[in-house]
Amino acid sequence: MDSLKIIGGQPLSGEIPISGAKNSALKLMAACLLTAEPVTLTNMPNLADTRFLSQLLQTLGVEVYWPKGDSECRLNAENLTSTIAPYEQVRKMRASFNVLGPMLARYGHATVSLPGGCAIGARPVDLHLQAFEAMGADLLVEQGYVKAAAIHGLKGAQIVFPFVSVGATEHAMLAATLAKGETVLENAAREPEIADLADCLISMGAKIEGAGSSTITIQGVDELHGTHHKVMSDRIEAGTYAMAVAAAGGHVTLTNAPVGALSALNHALRNAGVKVEADKDAGTIEIETTGQPLAAVNVDTAPHPGFPTDLQAQFMALMSVARGTSIIRENIFENRFMHAPELSRLGANIAVRGSEAIVTGVEKLKGAPVMATDLRASVSLVIAGLAAQGETTVSRIYHLDRGFERLEEKLSAVGANIRRTSEEDEG
């Protein structure tokens, strides 16, 4: 099993290119199931998660042309051989569940295993299923599978989400593109990835208005056609590297960055004393530290445009070396402070009380062996390791490979002392 070894204390300098967004790419890949024509996605991130979904799509009969290391992926779902997504594959990644809606909309039936993924709370799929039922689907959940049928096709519906859910918004939008009549999604999520998915679907012939707002209206069409679409840049990756620079010190320019999608983080970083210069036209964000201690900043995670839950762990690592005490409140997922005990192994002073973490900054973290528990937790340990004195070893980094493309290569290029090792290397 691979680990990362990090010697901290090295300031970072140079440029880091930002890859395509994992959270967008996965839903865009599922969109290929809505049409018999090829869908080509560019700026695709090469990640464990996107490769997992590629394998699942091939199991269903999708022709996938995506050479290893290539950023262009061609998907052709003209002739599916199955509408059953098995547990063995769906359990690996929660986003695999999103094949249900497109197959149900196009074929009138689908059987998909209930999903797996990170252990950061229950994250039930109830809202997804309620949306499909509102569109006229008959659903049966048994033996860990969702069996869905809409023999006469899905029908447009008024769907009011009881709380904001990115996954349910995206999934309902995918299915509604081929439903008969008008579907209105109220209290919809407003994340940039939803607008990216809508842009792709519109280029395929869908009729969607309001994506990026809390009300999305979809007029169903009889069929969709193929398209070429560029995956948006990953705001979570960009935010992660911004905090890595803030923690380790230095001056780095993030290129191909989703400048308009990081306002909440940029605001928090500036309050902490980090220089942030964003250029939307150039697609760059400059991160520079001043040499002065960071200031403690409170954050509350919230749906977009609030502070992203997927950047909470990284921000906690940063606040571990800030002057003063910060309070971090997690309002999206329960059980998402599993990184706190591991950060404490490096000397961080963190007290967790329910959905609140009180972080009292220390002058220096010290390297130690730590273990990743989920995707974002794993990269928070990398950030802490970059700021710490001595050597930090981060194990179980298969979590990291799910969402960060060439992380050690990108960090090494700007001066970090970081390398990947395996058990074989240690032997």
Sign of CA dihedral 101, 105, 107, 109: positive
Question: What's the chain's Rg over C-alpha atoms?
Answer: 22
pLDDT of residue 116: 58
Separation of alpha carbons 306 and 321, rounded Å:
23
Q: Which residues are annotated as a binding site?
A: 22-23, 94, 123-127, 310, 332
- pTM summary value: 0.95
What does CATH list as the number for 23-230? 3.65.10.10
pLDDT for residue 120: 34
DSSP helix/strand/coil, 391: strand
Tokens 């036209």 appear where? 281
Cα–Cα distance, 322 to 312 (Å, whole number): 15
Binding residues for UDP-N-acetyl-alpha-D-glucosamine: 94, 123-127, 310, 332
pLDDT at residue 422, as a whole number: 87
CA 407 from chain centre, in angstroms, equals: 15
Task: Please tell me the predicted confidence (pLDDT) of residue 333.
Answer: 82
How crowded is residue 175: how many other Cβ atoms within 10 Å of its Cβ? 29
User: What local confidence, expressed as pLDDT, does residue 186 receive?
Assistant: 98
H or E element at residue 292: none
Cα→Cα distances 120→312, 330, 376, Å:
12, 11, 10
Per-residue pLDDT, 163:
92
Phi, psi dihedrals of residue 360, rounded to the nearest 5°: -100, 115
**Tens digits of pLDDT across the chain (427 residues):** 899 999 999 999 999 999 999 999 999 999 999 999 999 999 999 999 999 999 999 999 999 999 998 999 999 999 999 999 998 888 878 889 999 999 999 999 999 998 854 443 444 789 999 999 999 999 999 988 999 999 999 999 999 999 999 999 999 999 999 999 999 999 999 999 999 999 999 999 999 999 999 999 999 999 999 999 999 999 999 999 999 999 999 999 999 999 999 999 999 999 999 999 999 999 999 999 999 999 999 999 999 999 999 999 999 999 999 999 999 999 998 778 999 999 999 999 999 999 999 999 999 999 999 998 887 889 999 999 999 999 999 999 988 998 899 999 999 999 999 999 986 555 4
118 counts as catalytic: yes
120: amino acid identity, one letter: I
Strands, E assignment, 382-425: 391-395, 417-421
Q: Two tokens at 319?
A: 């606040």
Binding residues for phosphoenolpyruvate: 22-23
Superfamily of domain 3-15+234-426: Enolpyruvate transferase domain (3.65.10.10)
The pLDDT of residue 292 is: 94
Query: Residue 115: what pLDDT?
Result: 80
Q: Which of 32, 73, 118, 200 is flagged as catalytic?
A: 118
Domain boundaries defined on the chain: 3-15+234-426, 23-230
Which pLDDT score is estimated for 374? 83
